[in-house]
Amino acid sequence: MNLGNAADWVIMAVAGSFLAVWLFRSFYAWLHEPSGSRVVLLGDGEELAPDDENVKFLEQSGYEVVSGKHRIPVTISLDGEKLKTRLYVDYVAERDGLTYLVKTARDRMPYEWTGSGLRDRLFMYALLVPGTEGIIIMDARDKWIRTLTFQITAQG
């Protein structure tokens, strides 16, 4: 056996081993990837208007507003037909190192202040952006802020 051929086989075996290990690790990581890793990371959002009453009220209440409105496109498939819609986050604010999504109250869509009402209307935001501490619901005109957090508890 030629020494050059033996060296070629060793190099091929080492390269093949590295490739096999890399493929196995990639497959293992993909297989064990938590389902929450398929979430939306919010971008920069819209510019904040300097005279925005909601921003002023949040800042007076001790929050730092870090971005404006975010539009999150959603495609729904209904019996094979594609329907397009959007979810909106009005602001992203921070306080004490914690990040909150902010939804503003609107007269035409009042909140139902029950567990099921809040869950049906806002739980998707907590699932969509799980790195946040909670959701702030606010009304600058009537001067109120409510903070909402979701905790999934074990049955028993």
Residues 103 and 57 grouped into a single domain: yes
- pLDDT per position as a tens digit, 105-139: 988 988 999 999 999 999 988 888 878 899 999 99
Do 13 and 74 lie in one domain? The reply is: no
- Does the pTM of the predicted model rise above 0.75? no
Please give the Cα distance from 2 to 6 (Å, whole number): 7
Domains in the chain, number? 2
Task: Give per-residue pLDDT as tens, 71-103.
Answer: 888 899 999 999 999 989 999 999 999 999 999
Q: Is residue 155 part of a domain?
A: no
pLDDT in tens, 50-72: 889 999 999 999 999 988 998 88
Pair 22, 82 in one domain: no
